[in-house]
Structure 1
Amino acid sequence: MSSKLTRRPLAIAVAIALLGPSTSVMADQNQTLEQRLAELEARVAASERRAEQAQQRAERAEAALADSREQSADQDALEARVAQIEARDSENPPPPPPSDEGLSMSAYARSGLLLDDHLKSAPGGPYLTPAGRSGGSVGRLGNEPDTYVETVFDYRQNYENGAKSRYRVMLADGNTSLNDWTADESQLNVRQVYAEFSDLPTFTGAFEGASIWAGKRFDRDNFDIHWLDSDVVFLAGTGAGIYDVALGDNATTNLSLYGRSFSDYPVVTSDAPDLQGSTDNLILTSNNFFGDWQWMVSGMSANDNDARDNDSRDNVVGTGAADKGFHTMAAYHGDSFFGLREGTTVAALLYGHGLGAEVKAMGSDGNLLEQADTARLALNGTTYIAPHWRIAPTLLAQTSKDRYASGDSYNWATLSARLANELTENFEMQYEGSYQWMDLDPKGYEGLNDVEGGYTRLTVAPTFKPMVGGFWNRPEIRFFVTWSDWDSDLNNFTQTDALGSDDFTGSEWTFGTQMEIWF
């Protein structure tokens, strides 16, 4: 390299002499060429350094690869499990990614046979037990006798000014008939129809990232415990609202007003005993998010609902149905399994008074007393306990008093767990155990009797999938066998439910098949 540099200035001088320019011009040109030459040499040296660094990186990568090949044979499975955990949704089955514009569709459906040991359709459902009347559900695996389908259509538009709009309509139907034609049993319903606007250029400041909506809908931030088919909180109705108003760094609030109808109830009056009344329950909500934490507070008003009459409430003195209420919830949505390992956590504590004492399906029950109180605790987690084993344990508990009759009480707790073993790419074994304790004292409301006892359900379900892995990977085709048992006292709660009926008094075996899909 040094000999080349020595010869280059001499060659340059000879070339300049042959061209015959003036001395000053020649000097300037010589200086310019020397500068360019120096810059070129610097670039060559830098390129050589980069090549040397690249070679060193390649050597380190090869060494790391050699080390990784010496790790255990389970490494690939462990990496796949980590990828599955990272890809899953935190609480709910993941919705499909929305298309940027145009028409899209999503759906949920389940359908199957649930048979008893006499090869007849068996009673079932997560709300089968006496506690189900106040929201106490049990595990759903091998416990659903219905066909239910819901389909959502979205139409999205983008505008030249950057604004976006979405129109949504949701259709749903469900029944327990096994026939192919079920028009007589159909409950086809439009459950949602609304419009939502976002990215509006005139929204600035705290409203810059906000979206507004109006119509009939499920609130965007409802969340559930899938394994029990139970919402933790479910806010829905017809109204309007605004999402994602900024409160500060990593803090937002949603504001909404929903209406629900209380219709066709008997009214207290001496001169017109058959008079029917109706009213609307208005629910004003502030739903606030601070990182992983959520705080929800709602007030309710149903004008004239206190005129509601109910013969089953004869023992109530000086009080009637509520015409207002209060509801609040504190919740945590975590990205680890209770801080112990990789996974997810959902924890929520709810309280409601008056019309707010229906703490899950907010504002939906017009029969609640004005002094009704309810508190609910929900805990749910998901995690892999081994490369091919996943588990989702759940605790759901509620206590309620003065709910429908003065002095009544509805107390229950459900402990459940869904366990799955991924055996091949297309097959896994699922297991579910569920136990519910209840102590119910309705004080004669609607002819119900006080009972106390426990309900147990165990299910084994061989399951086929196009591809196993993750908690929310669907579709599935399951075959199942279920054993359920309960204390005999629960058969006395009422004569109108399944428990205590012929051939359904305890220690029951059921079996069947079911498909479940969402996309």
Structure 2
Amino acid sequence: MNKGTSMPSPFRFSRHPLAVAVALAMTLPTAASAADRSIEERLAELEARIAASERRASQAEQRAARAEAALEAQQGTEQGHAPAQQLAQHDNVSRTSGVPQTSEDEELSAPGIPSEIREEEGKGEGLSMSVYARSGLLIGSDRKSAPGGPYLTPAGRSGGAVGRLGNEPDTYVETIFDYNQRFDNGAHSLYRVMLADKTTTSNDWTADESELNLRQAFVEFSDLPSFTGAFENASIWAGKRFDRDNFNIEWIDSDIVFLAGTGAGIYDISVTDGWDTSVSLYGRSFSDYPVITREQPELNGDTDNLILTSNNRFGPWQWMISGMSANDNDERDNDPRNGVPGDNVAENGFQTMLAYHGDSFFGMGDGTFKAALMYGHGLGGEVKDLGADGNLNDDANTTRLALYGTTYLSPNWRIAPSLLAQTSRDRYANGDRYDWVTLSARLANELTENFEMQYEASYQWMDLDPAGYGYVDGNNNPQVFERVNGGYTRLTIAPTIKPQVGGFGLRPEIRFFATWSDWNKDLNRFSDEDALGSDGFTGSEWTFGTQMEVWF
């Protein structure tokens, strides 16, 4: 990321006589010192400097081409639209407690800045800043704050998101500061720090509820002259970060894959002309969980889940494989039904993903689409947030399918459909089952240069059998999930005002919305702790509100 500045192609270096003369004038020593040096030495030095100049010029041309492609993607078609914009990498908050995922955890994810634009902007030397933020008010028909969030259904605990338009009651802000430095030898250094905060209160002073967090702090080196051969275009990094190759379905606020933690890695090793690979080692912490041993019956456990990943690109194809190991994680008490340590908690595992990044709308017209098929076993049974869940069974098996795209149906109508499906067996307890499918689509009608109508429809089917598994709440009381089966439906209409319409990736915008949601009453039984089935929220619900969203 942010690897350097661009150089216009007319200033390309070559071994032209004029270029040689200029370089000669810059490099020849004084007459006194020249007498002490051989012509061969001076010519060798001159040749090295010219070669270095050509290398830097070539790298600058490549960066310029990428920047031009990013600008074209932002501007869209000749009609002024951007049907093919890919939306940014983002990711869900790290989970260090090892408990099953909750909707509150998942709400801490956020769409980001379009990745192609963020990649090319701010490459000049110095400090730059980028931002994602949303803030909204979600009110029920009783004129009180209403539950919301893309992960509010029972399937949300295993990653089952629904559409997020008109479904977010929080204020979430993330700010990235980048410092770019270019050295005399052409090498580039990027230092990045990312701060994020989230709150659900509507008050102006929220210090007591603040969840301010340092989510990234890393340094990355690129364009290193010493990197040659297969490593010529590689970059190396270390620290705490989101992996560069994460990607997501923005419309339902769900990552397709999210790899993050603290570690080190190297990007873009050119194995062959058509095959680049990236290798990384991330560490994530599982801490403060009860462990029962003969020596210390109530010892609190602590371990690191180490994730070794190889991410390979073959043109539009991406193949990712990760192995995980968390020493002694199998000593945790993973079964609140009887309060003794289970012998089935995973200590290792693996995950793999095959993805395709298309440059058309499923081959039917202008636009984009992405497809991904994932499988994980053991600690890899959480196939999306890699290494984030320490409660997984060592027999856990999960398969996940993601599919989404964007296109214009006409000059003023655009659509973004998505499908997300997952099946999981023996996830937390032997014999459990977590199956769900989410279908969602966002539709927008651009009425003027500054006004559009947005619509979103989501349906989620789920069949969840926890096999008696649960968790321990904040009061150390076991909570057991119930088996449920049914569907959840949500429809939203959102008049939207923005400085300029013309593409899914254009922000900022201000939305006003009305949402209707309904679900099978059987889903209310899943847990006493989730939103469905709580007082005044049992089905056929209307919610209203407003929200701003911005990124730059």
Identify whether the pair has TM-score above 0.5, normalized to the shorter chain. yes
> Is contact 2:137-2:547 (8 Å) kept?
yes
Match of 1:297 in 2: 321
> Is contact 2:335-2:342 (8 Å) kept?
no
Match of 2:521 in 1: 488
Match of 2:445 among 421, 431, 439: 421
Match of 1:89 in 2: 86
Structure 1 CA distance for aligned equivalents of residues 206 and 364 of structure 2: 49
Structure 1 residue 317: deviation in Å? Answer: 10
Corresponding residue SS for 1:337: coil
- Map Cα deviations across residues 139-198 of structure 1 (whole Å, 9 max, x no partner): 000000000000000000000011000000000000100000100000000000000000
Matched, 1:180 2:204: yes
Match of 1:454 among 487, 497, 518: 487
Structure 2 CA distance for aligned equivalents of residues 271 and 182 of structure 1: 44
Structure 2 CA distance for aligned equivalents of residues 398 and 225 of structure 1: 15
Matched, 1:467 2:491: no
The aligned runs of 1:120-269 (5 Å cut-off) are 120-269=144-293
- Map Cα deviations across residues 272-314 of structure 1 (whole Å, 9 max, x no partner): 3211111000000000000000000010000011111133365
Matched to 2:514, the amino acid is V
Structure 1 residue 318: deviation in Å? Answer: 7.5
Match of 1:347 in 2: 371
> Is contact 1:252-1:289 (8 Å) kept?
yes
> Is contact 1:91-1:225 (8 Å) kept?
no
Higher helix residue share: 1
Corresponding residue SS for 1:341: coil
Corresponding residue SS for 2:523: helix
Structure 1 CA distance for aligned equivalents of residues 397 and 341 of structure 2: 17
Structure 1 residue 90: deviation in Å? Answer: 6.4
Match of 2:407 among 364, 372, 383: 383
> Is contact 1:90-1:335 (8 Å) kept?
no
In 2 relative to 1, CA 416–387 (structure 1 residues): closer, same or farther, beyond 3 Å? same
Matched, 1:499 2:523: no
- Map Cα deviations across residues 65-119 of structure 1 (whole Å, 9 max, x no partner): xxxxxxxxxxxx98315x5336x33666414412311000000000010000111
Structure 1 CA distance for aligned equivalents of residues 294 and 148 of structure 2: 43
Structure 2 CA distance for aligned equivalents of residues 85 and 372 of structure 1: 39
- Map Cα deviations across residues 350-396 of structure 1 (whole Å, 9 max, x no partner): 00000000000000100001110000000000000011000000000
> Is contact 1:315-1:405 (8 Å) kept?
no
- Map Cα deviations across residues 294-339 of structure 1 (whole Å, 9 max, x no partner): 0000100000111111333659998321110110000000000011
In 2 relative to 1, CA 386–316 (structure 1 residues): closer, same or farther, beyond 3 Å? farther
Corresponding residue SS for 1:133: helix
Matched, 1:80 2:79: yes
The aligned runs of 1:290-329 (5 Å cut-off) are 290-312=314-336, 314=338, 319-329=343-353
Matched to 1:470, the amino acid is G
> Is contact 1:316-1:405 (8 Å) kept?
no
Corresponding residue SS for 2:402: strand
Percent identity over paired residues: 71
Structure 1: stretches of 5+ with no match in the other structure? 1-76
Matched, 1:445 2:475: no
Match of 1:10 in 2: none
Structure 2 CA distance for aligned equivalents of residues 358 and 159 of structure 1: 41
Structure 1 residue 248: deviation in Å? Answer: 1.2
Structure 1 residue 266: deviation in Å? Answer: 1.0
Corresponding residue SS for 1:180: coil
In 2 relative to 1, CA 115–318 (structure 1 residues): closer, same or farther, beyond 3 Å? closer
Matched, 1:510 2:509: no
Deviates more, 1:264-273 or 1:311-320: 311-320
Q: Matched residue pairs, number? A: 441
Structure 2 CA distance for aligned equivalents of residues 457 and 381 of structure 1: 20
Structure 2 CA distance for aligned equivalents of residues 343 and 378 of structure 1: 17
- Map Cα deviations across residues 24-61 of structure 1 (whole Å, 9 max, x no partner): xxxxxxxxxxxxxxxxxxxxxxxxxxxxxxxxxxxxxx
Matched to 1:99, the amino acid is K
> Is contact 1:315-1:406 (8 Å) kept?
no
Matched to 1:89, the amino acid is Q
Match of 2:42 in 1: none
Structure 1 residue 250: deviation in Å? Answer: 2.8
Structure 1 CA distance for aligned equivalents of residues 142 and 331 of structure 2: 49
In 2 relative to 1, CA 282–213 (structure 1 residues): closer, same or farther, beyond 3 Å? same
- Map Cα deviations across residues 448-502 of structure 1 (whole Å, 9 max, x no partner): 0000000000000000000000110000100000000000000000111111011
> Is contact 1:263-1:279 (8 Å) kept?
yes
Q: CA RMSD in A?
A: 1.6
> Is contact 1:313-1:405 (8 Å) kept?
no
> Is contact 1:192-1:218 (8 Å) kept?
yes
Match of 2:37 in 1: none
> Is contact 1:313-1:404 (8 Å) kept?
no
Corresponding residue SS for 2:430: coil
Structure 2 CA distance for aligned equivalents of residues 199 and 382 of structure 1: 34
Q: Which has the larger radius of gyration?
A: 1
TM-score, normalised by the number of residues in structure 1:
0.83
Structure 1 CA distance for aligned equivalents of residues 543 and 368 of structure 2: 32
- Map Cα deviations across residues 402-454 of structure 1 (whole Å, 9 max, x no partner): 01111000000000000000000000000000000000000111100000000
Structure 2 CA distance for aligned equivalents of residues 305 and 224 of structure 1: 29
> Is contact 1:91-1:344 (8 Å) kept?
no
In 2 relative to 1, CA 198–266 (structure 1 residues): closer, same or farther, beyond 3 Å? same
Structure 2 CA distance for aligned equivalents of residues 213 and 105 of structure 1: 20
Structure 2 CA distance for aligned equivalents of residues 378 and 248 of structure 1: 29
Structure 2 CA distance for aligned equivalents of residues 84 and 426 of structure 1: 16
Matched, 1:274 2:298: yes
> Is contact 2:77-2:83 (8 Å) kept?
no
The aligned runs of 1:22-37 (5 Å cut-off) are none
In 2 relative to 1, CA 318–470 (structure 1 residues): closer, same or farther, beyond 3 Å? closer
Structure 1 residue 506: deviation in Å? Answer: 0.1
> Is contact 2:369-2:403 (8 Å) kept?
yes
Matched to 2:352, the amino acid is T
> Is contact 2:348-2:394 (8 Å) kept?
yes
Structure 1 CA distance for aligned equivalents of residues 172 and 342 of structure 2: 43
Corresponding residue SS for 1:509: strand
